[in-house]
């Protein structure tokens, strides 16, 4: 019975010591991250700074796209397809844009994100709404 009484306080002390050490190490790690590393959302090197970025808009053929119609866009990087977007991104369904101008507007928006080093260059329904491309 006596050995249990001695072991319990020792084990409790060791658990407390491990937790205190871990908490101190976590604080030091957080301090080092904020000083030495950029935020995770930024990329130090912009791959698209000097690239030739263009938008090519295309009409969606209903036979090839499960009966859907509309407009889509390709983002070209130095003449090669980087993003193929046959439907409206961030919106449920597979519908294309209702006009060539709408597809061009969103494609230009994506290019601006790439030029500003926003990776991945995704869009939200709110951004699409502010661009005026949602019907």
Name the pTM for this structure: 0.65
Q: What tokens were used for 116?
A: 């500003």
pLDDT-based confidence at 26, cuts 50/70/90?
A: low
Which of 82, 135, 86, 133 has the alpha carbon at shortest distance from 109?
A: 133
When the pLDDT of each residue in the chain is averaged and rounded to a whole number, the result is: 79
The tokens describing 29, both together, are 């790690």
DSSP string, 34-97: HHHS--TT--SS-TTSSS-EEEEEEEEPTTTTTT--EEEEEEEETTEEEEEE-S-TTSSS---B
Enumerate the domain spans of the chain. Answer: 1-37, 53-131
Q: pLDDT at residue 44 above 90?
A: no
Half-sphere exposure of 14 (CA within 13 A, CB side): 6
SS3 28: helix
Among 87, 97, 89, CA closest to 65: 87
Q: What is the pLDDT of residue 12?
A: 55
Most confident option among 1-5, 19-23, 28-32, 56-60:
56-60
- In order of 6, 49, 55, 114, 134, the CA distances from 80 in angstroms are 72, 16, 11, 15, 28
In the structure, what pLDDT confidence band is assigned to residue 125 with cuts at 50, 70 and 90?
A: very high
31 versus 109: the higher-pLDDT residue is 109
């Amino acid at each position: 019975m006596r050995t249990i009484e001695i072991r319990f306080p020792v084990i409790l002390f060791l658990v407390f010591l491990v937790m205190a050490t871990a908490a101190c190490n976590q604080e030091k790690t957080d301090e080092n991250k904020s000083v030495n590393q950029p935020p995770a959302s930024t990329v130090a090197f912009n791959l698209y700074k000097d690239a030739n970025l263009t938008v090519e808009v295309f009409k969606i053929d209903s036979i090839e796209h499960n009966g859907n119609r509309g407009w889509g866009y390709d983002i070209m990087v130095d003449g090669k397809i980087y993003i193929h977007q046959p439907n409206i991104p961030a919106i449920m369904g597979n519908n294309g844009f209702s006009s060539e101008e709408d597809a061009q507007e969103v494609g230009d928006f994506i290019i601006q994100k790439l030029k500003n080093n926003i990776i991945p260059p995704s869009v939200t329904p709110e951004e699409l709404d502010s661009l005026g491309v949602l019907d």
